[in-house]
């Protein structure tokens, strides 16, 4: 059994071998093309100001920031007014649309430049991060999706470990094959693309009713023959996903995670399932041996446990400021992941709706 679990452990290296990153060495580019930055925002009073402040002093000339207020019930619009942005008050939500795609679509229709950057309101840039991002896009001009580096400030946020890993591993962008295979879809928080590509693919109208809109939009780019690129945001773009508390984090993951797992490619899903099964099997055997009288067997299982913990820490530090104790006691975030995933499955298959930011979101 030890050999079998070690085999499952080794699968993790195939899934997250290397997180591709945006280059941050050398001086930033002196001149950049203007960009229209589109920020869909619903009840983002705790996040929006941080993003807008981070954009100050690094926006190319003739660029613009469009904040699309999606019927917020808090001070989101008032905060936007205090910054140099164009505030767009979202029109009523049409039938067949979800809030974020509708807000992004309206922003794109109002944008004046031919380069679009869609950003979630909970993201924020490192100094010189925006020029680096635009420079990276310009290397090929193909649609570029960024999964921000997860900056956590509260202990409960460490429970997001497995969710963050699965988003990265399920993208096919971090495997041992590197860019020899195309990503499986796009990351949700950040997309930069040309207006030409956006219009050609059908924009957010193409994913109007999709909860995981940018993942599917990435696939739509592939369907029209465009190459897409996925990058980790470390050193360039960060986010703090759910600073509003534990309940907000649970609701956020429940909203999209089961649907996201269905979108993962078959072989990625098989490998992810095998790796997680190995961690679960290890936890069960370790618990059983803790009550046995065989010190040698117990030490063997403890050694395997430390291998899993070391591998997990090696993975996590590349995608967020996760702590060593999160990896060492990985069973805690693993149980949390299992419970939330099961709840997401129930909401998706049976209730067909989840609560999110004051709305009931259909998951069909």
The whole-number pLDDT of residue 267 equals 82
Give the Cβ contact number of residue 115 at 10 Å.
Answer: 23
H and E: helices and strands count for the chain = 13, 12
| Chain-centre distance for alpha carbon 151 | 12
The whole-number pLDDT of residue 292 equals 66
How far apart are alpha carbons 248 and 228 in whole angstroms? Answer: 31
pTM > 0.95: yes or no? no
The whole-number pLDDT of residue 258 equals 59
The whole-number pLDDT of residue 260 equals 66
Structural domains in the chain, sorted by start: 2-15+263-362 (no CATH), 36-244 (3.90.550.10)
How far apart are alpha carbons 236 and 174 in whole angstroms? Answer: 18
How far apart are alpha carbons 344 and 346 in whole angstroms? Answer: 5
Q: What does each C-alpha distance from 260 to 184, 265, 268, 284, 335 come to in angstroms?
A: 11, 10, 12, 27, 19
Question: If phi over 0 gives left and psi between -120 and 50 gives alpha, with beta otherwise, what is residue 96?
Answer: left
How far apart are alpha carbons 196 and 273 in whole angstroms? Answer: 38
The whole-number pLDDT of residue 268 equals 83
Encode pLDDT of 245-258 as tens digits.
898 898 888 776 65
One-letter-per-residue 3-state SS of 160-201 = HHHHHHHHHHCCCCCCCCHHHCCCCCCCCCEEEEEHHHHHHH
HSE, side-chain direction, 13 A CA sphere, residue 317: 9
How far apart are alpha carbons 51 and 77 in whole angstroms? Answer: 14
Low-confidence ranges of the chain (pLDDT < 70): 256-263, 289-293, 348-364
Burial (0-12, 13-18, 19+ Cβ within 10 Å), 65: buried
The sheet with strand 149-150 has its strands ordered as: 123-125, 237-239, 149-150
């Amino acid at each position: 059994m030890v050999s079998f679990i070690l085999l499952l452990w080794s699968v993790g290296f195939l899934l997250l071998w290397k997180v591709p990153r945006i280059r941050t060495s050398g001086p930033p580019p002196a001149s950049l093309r203007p960009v229209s930055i589109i920020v869909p925002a619903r009840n983002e009073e705790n996040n929006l100001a941080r993003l807008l402040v981070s954009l100050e002093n690094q926006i190319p000339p003739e660029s613009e920031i469009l904040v699309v207020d999606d019927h917020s019930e808090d001070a989101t619009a008032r905060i936007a007014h205090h910054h140099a942005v164009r505030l767009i008050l979202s029109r009523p939500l049409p039938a067949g649309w979800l809030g974020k795609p509708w807000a992004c679509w309206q922003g794109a229709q109002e944008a004046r430049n031919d380069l679009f950057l869609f950003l979630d309101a909970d993201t924020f840039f490192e100094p010189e991060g925006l020029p680096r991002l635009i420079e990276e896009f310009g290397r090929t001009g193909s649609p570029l999706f960024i999964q921000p580096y997860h900056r956590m400030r509260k202990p409960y946020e460490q429970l997001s470990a497995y969710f963050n890993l699965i988003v990265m591993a399920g993208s096919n962008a971090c495997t041992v094959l590197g860019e020899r295979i195309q990503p499986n879809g796009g990351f949700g928080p950040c997309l930069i693309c040309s207006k030409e590509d956006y219009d050609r693919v059908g924009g957010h109208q193409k994913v109007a009713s999709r909860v995981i809109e940018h993942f599917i939009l990435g696939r739509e780019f592939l369907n029209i023959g465009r190459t897409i690129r996925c990058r980790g945001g470390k050193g360039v773009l960060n986010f703090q996903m759910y600073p509003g508390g534990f309940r907000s984090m649970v609701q956020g993951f429940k909203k999209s995670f089961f649907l996201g797992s269905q979108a993962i490619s078959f072989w990625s899903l098989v490998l992810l399932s095998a790796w997680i099964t190995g961690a679960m099997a290890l936890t069960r055997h370790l618990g059983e041996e803790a009550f046995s009288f065989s010190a040698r067997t117990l030490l063997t299982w403890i050694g395997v446990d430390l291998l899993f913990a070391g591998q997990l820490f090696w993975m996590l530090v590349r995608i967020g400021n996760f702590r060593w104790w999160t990896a060492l006691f990985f069973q805690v975030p693993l149980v949390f992941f299992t419970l939330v995933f099961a709840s997401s499955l129930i909401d998706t298959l049976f209730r067909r709706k989840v609560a999110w930011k004051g709305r009931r979101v259909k998951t069909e």
